[in-house]
Structure 1
Amino acid sequence: MPIVTLTTDIGQQDFVVGAIKGQLLSQYAGFNIVDITHYLPKDNYPQAAYICANAFKHFPDNTCHVVILDFFENALQYLLVAKHHNQYIICPDNGIITMITGNKPEEIVAIPISGYYSLLSVTAIVAKAIAALLHTNNLSEVGYPVQQLIEKYPLRATIGPDWMEGQILFIDNFENVIINITKQEFEEQRRDRNFKIVFKRNEVIDKISNNYSSVVEGEKLAWFNSAGYLEIAINSGNLAGLFGLQGFNQKMQQQGAAVQNKWFYQTVRIFFE
């Protein structure tokens, strides 16, 4: 049964998500439609990419992933369809594709969007394109080749000889805080040295736990989560709310120096010794 996932920023308060599913099923009643989330943050592409990349990699070959993020930020002339790790990603040309994949996909085409359009008129085109892919598995059958596209890439940690600094990538519903530092990056920089994870100026964690039960209730901990990223938390607590930590915000980053006094609420630094 062909799988189509939906990952959007449109919420679920009205009829739109149901209508999109209806459009897909009208093209092929056998689609297995899976919701990833409908609450992607429009001003946080790194978080959106973190969600998409770490969900998509668990799906089988030939899954079609529809990503609706900032569809109407700019005039929409086409959508991208990219093949990545034997799966298909359909999204606007706003940089989210390379944020998800980490590089420019080798196989990518554009589906033209012309004239007056609404969200549902665009998703109707998407539904037809996915149905075509189902029959052909050939990108050239659904769009035209693309040479230039908007490229944005995930945030990377800043590294010094005895320190590294990461940004808060994501804060989950339990207010646990995920940092854009992977286990591999951490170990490469650590080189078996002792370390201190420092946030909010003077809060320190100096060991890596295996899971939440490794510490007593109410104690801070750091561990590498199921996606392989550094996560700091409080066992049975709400770390982000307690310490006023904030996720990456694209608008704040663009304001630069005007928000430097808030920067320490969004970063975590690790010192090695």
Structure 2
Amino acid sequence: MSVITLTTDFGTLYPASMKGAILSINPDATIVDISHSVPPIDIRAGAFAIYSVVRHFPPGTIHVGVIDPGVGTDRKAIIVRAGDQCFVGPDNGLLIPGARLLGEFQVYEIQDGILPESISSTFHGRDIFAPAAAHLSAGRDVQEIASKTDDYVDLDFSGYTIEKQFIEAIVVYVDDFGNIITNIPAEKLLDKIEPGTILSVSGRQMPFMKIYSDVPKWGIVALVGSHGFFEISVNQGSASRLLHLTNGNSIRIGIMGSL
């Protein structure tokens, strides 16, 4: 069984064409949708969506990611091989955090020889990335369809600050529950604060706890989510709506002391 995952900002219509392109080459492929509701052209959010799931897929999985504001330009189309998995998409940093999570990785530029004769200038997800993933899933080696390169666009989730009295971070993803997921990894945060610490954001105080229900219904709480990053949540509510924060926003959090 060959597993191909899809992560895009395409919404409801366009992913079907990608699936058709894959199945036309490898009818036995198993296609798993990660998300098609990544905010439009939000590369960081798309990278986080891929990053958050890769460890849960079996060896041989191929992850196709298409958040591609540079579609039709001279940006490269790439395959990244990391561990026992591959990542296919545009060279804009989207694939790198998930690949890096799996360990050492190699980047390859997709060659013209495996591509359709007619390629849309606006839909490389269907005409380049889906066929490349399908060929890999059908057993072709990466080096048959792509050439190794050391020239690629990097992306990581850095850009946060943790000081004695405050934290500065970036919102990398707001999930469907309205949880605000920041770019601070758990291990960096837990070096500085411990459960029970009181934090403050936008004039609202909240405890840093372990689970959502450590605060009453509608209460605001900070914790480490299942993805391993610091998040701000509202128990049975939306932190994003309450705090008027969304993907890409900068956030400053005060460290007030312990309970």
Structure 1 length as normaliser, TM-score? Answer: 0.80
Residues 169-180 of structure 1: matches in 2 within 5 Å? 169-180=172-183
Equivalent runs, 1:26-37 vs 2, <5 Å = 26-37=24-35
Deviation of 1:7 after TM superposition, in Å, equals: 0.7
Q: Give the partner amino acid of 1:268.
A: I
- What CA deviation, in whole Å up to 9, does each residue of 1:31-71 have, x standing for no partner? 00111111222443222211110112210011011111115
What one-letter code is carried by the residue in structure 2 that aligns with 1:237?
G
Amino acid corresponding to residue 213 of structure 2 in structure 1? S
SS at match of 1:82: strand
Q: Could you say which residue in structure 2 is the equivalent of 1:205?
A: 206
What RMSD, in angstroms, separates the aligned Cα atoms of the two structures?
2.8
Mapped contact 1:169–1:248 kept (Cα < 8 A)? yes
- 1:165 and 1:270 in contact (8 A); partners too: no
Pick from 139, 147, 151 the counterpart of residue 150 of structure 2: 147
Q: Which residue of 1 aligns with 2:55?
A: 57
Which of 238, 243, 253 is the matching residue for 1:268? 253
1:86 to 84, 88, 107: 84
The answer as to whether partners of 2:5 and 2:63 remain within 8 angstroms in 1 is yes
2:215·2:221 contact (CA, 8 Å) conserved in 1? yes
Give 2:246's aligned amino acid: Q
Q: What is the TM-score with the length of structure 2 in the denominator?
A: 0.84
Q: Quick one: structure 1 residues 196 and 166, their matched pair in 2 at CA, closer, same or farther if it must change by over 3 Å?
A: farther
- Equivalent residue, structure 2, for 1:45: 43
Q: For structure 1, which segment, 23-32 or 166-175, has the greater mean C-alpha deviation from structure 2 after superposition?
A: 166-175
Given residue 207 of structure 2, which amino acid in structure 1 is its aligned partner?
A: D
Amino acid at match of 1:7: T
| Partner AA of 2:223 in structure 1 | W
The ranges of structure 1 where at least 4 consecutive aligned residues each deviate by more than 4 angstroms after the TM superposition are 102-105, 113-116, 119-122
Tell me the equivalent position of 2:98: 100
**Partners of 2:179 and 2:195 in 1: CA distance:** 26
3-state SS in 1 of match to 2:192: helix
Deviation of the 1:158 alpha carbon: 0.8
Preserved contact between residue 182 and residue 228 of structure 1 (Cα < 8 Å): yes
Please report how far the alpha carbon of residue 121 of structure 1 lies from its aligned counterpart in structure 2 after TM superposition. Answer: 6.3
Aligned to 1:228: 228
Residue-by-residue CA offset, 1:151-199 (whole Å, 9 max, x unaligned): 2222342133454322222222222212222221111123x59733221
| Structure 1 gap segments, 5+ residues each | 250-262
Q: Which digits, 9 at most, give the CA deviation of each residue in 1:3-24, with x for residues without a partner?
A: 0111111111x3x221211111
Corresponding residue for 1:111? 110
Aligned length: 253
Do 1:132 and 1:141's aligned partners in 2 also have CA atoms closer than 8 Å? no
| Corresponding residue of 2:15 | 17
**Does structure 1 conserve the Cα–Cα contact (< 8 Å) formed by 2:5 and 2:33?**
yes
Q: 1:179·1:268 contact (CA, 8 Å) conserved in 2?
A: no
Aligned to 1:178, the other structure's residue is in SS state strand
Q: Which runs of 5+ in 2 are unaligned?
A: none
Q: Percent identity?
A: 24
CA contact (8 A) 2:162 2:168 kept: yes
Residues of 2 paired with 1:123 and 1:244: CA distance?
35
**In the superposition, relative to structure 1, how do residues 46 and 197 fare at CA in structure 2: closer, same or farther (>3 Å)?**
farther
Higher helix share: 1
Change (3 A) 1:135 1:245: closer
For 2:198, the equivalent position in structure 1 comes to 196
Q: Distance in 2 between matches of 1:176 and 1:85?
A: 30
2:59 aligned counterpart, secondary structure: coil
Residue 221 of structure 1 aligns to a residue whose secondary structure is: strand
Partner SS for 2:52: helix
Distance 2:257 2:84 in 1: 40
Name which of structure 1's ranges 111-120 and 75-84 shifts more when overlaid on structure 2. 111-120
Contact 1:80 1:90 in 2 (8 A): yes
